[in-house]
Amino acid sequence: MVTVAELPIGRRVAHWRARRRMTQQMLADRLGKSKSWVDKVERGVRALDRLSVVREVAEALRVDPTVLLGRSLPPAAEGDTTADSRQVDAVRAALARYDFTPPGRTPHQPTVPVAELRRRVGHAWLTYQHAHYPQLLRVLPGLLRDVQRAHAAQPAHPADLLVQVYRVTSSVLVKLGQADLAWLAADRALAVAAGDPLLAAVAAIPLAQSLRALRGDRLAMAVALAAAHSIAAPNPDDSTAGELSVAGTLLLQAALAAASRGDPSGVHELTGQAAEIADLVGEGHDHHWTGFGRTAVELARVAAAVELGDAADAITRHEKITGQGDRWARLPAERRAAHLVDAARAYLQVGELAAAGRRLVDADRIAPAEIRSRPFVRTVIAAVARGGPATVDVARLAGALGVT
């Protein structure tokens, strides 16, 4: 006889929902999701492959997360090795530091020249795009300190540098599962950008990302749309490529939030608007470190399809993207690896474990930190490894992460 612990996770959700005398609609209301979302989870059409979502469902059902997982949480499921934890603590300390040097007064320490700071901020973004997250964490505390100090000592100091260093900080913290700290960095960026509509819109990108990571999808959508509309000219031809890129990126953030809310029509409308903007911007640009273009729209469509449980659409789009040769190869390592994780989730949803495993192994080769530093990726790898006989490469990767 099959025990509850041996059932697929969706069936365990259905079991405990019935035990709590809850309908699918009642559970959906508690989670802020649609009834269709709950139904797809229970039928196994939609995978519960994010630990944060498993915990939300467990809380709504008043059970321990391990009851739904059917096992103990994987080692280091909170996301950090000891070294990474120390590095995150150093970033946290840097964000908690305040410089009270009065404007115009020479600070205790000399400020770094703007040109040097600009070079270092650019290098930080390149480090992020190459998915070298441990290296980025090592340089962020000093970079935050120096840019904060320069901005405090010179109010006329270009605010874009401080916004961008807060933004890259928030972005990597989201990757590492540190959503609360990421939100703090993003909120700081928005405060610095006050009075400059374009800079505020740039700062809204990490704010929407961190709110999504905190499962505040409704707020993320509202923030992203408000910021996009604040810089949208009545005639797109009157906007600069940079403004269009930021607006398009914000629309994609809103689309991903809509996907998390189970709103396919919203996803379709928002990605369609972003695609129109991408046609104006063109491909191969990186205005304001957005990397926005038609390929970015397609990557977002895959991620949204996975969130909506439309694995077939996600897989079709994924195979088209990766078949574009040079265009695919030119994408930053971080984007390629993150996309392959989304593709693995899609293959997992349709039960193609071998294909899912190949995408995870490929992602690990492209950007190891994208696989080994992100908490939720561990749950995807665990699901693939435990779903059936694993290939040698998948078994080796799972073993390296302690999720065998």
SS3 404: coil
Model confidence over 298-335: pLDDT tens digits? Answer: 999 999 999 998 999 999 999 999 998 788 989 999 99
pLDDT band at 149 (very low <50, low <70, confident <90, very high): confident
Model-level pTM?
Answer: 0.80
Q: Are 47 and 8 in contact (CB under 8 A)?
A: no
pLDDT band at 108 (very low <50, low <70, confident <90, very high): low
Please check the confidence at residue 280 and state whether its pLDDT lies above 90: yes
Q: Are 210 and 179 in contact (CB under 8 A)?
A: yes
On average, the pLDDT of the chain sits at: 87
pLDDT band at 245 (very low <50, low <70, confident <90, very high): very high
Model confidence over 165-221: pLDDT tens digits? Answer: 999 999 999 999 899 999 999 999 999 998 899 999 999 999 999 999 988 899 999
CA distances from 279 to 107, 234, 246 (A): 47, 17, 14
Cα 109 to Cα 105: distance, rounded to the nearest angstrom: 11
Q: Compare 31 and 313 and report the one with higher pLDDT.
A: 313
**Average pLDDT in the 129-153 region?**
92
Poorest-pLDDT segment among 3-12, 121-130, 343-352:
3-12
Name 183's Cβ contacts closer than 8 Å, sequence gap at least 6. Answer: 170, 207, 210, 211, 213, 214
Q: What is the pLDDT of residue 73?
A: 43
pLDDT band at 111 (very low <50, low <70, confident <90, very high): confident
Q: What is the pLDDT of residue 99?
A: 61
pLDDT band at 138 (very low <50, low <70, confident <90, very high): very high
Please check the confidence at residue 72 and state whether its pLDDT lies above 70: no
Token pair of 274 as six digits: 């972003």
- Percent of the chain at pLDDT exceeding 90: 54
pLDDT band at 250 (very low <50, low <70, confident <90, very high): very high
pLDDT band at 155 (very low <50, low <70, confident <90, very high): low
Token pair of 353 as six digits: 């474990």
- Percent of the chain at pLDDT exceeding 70: 89
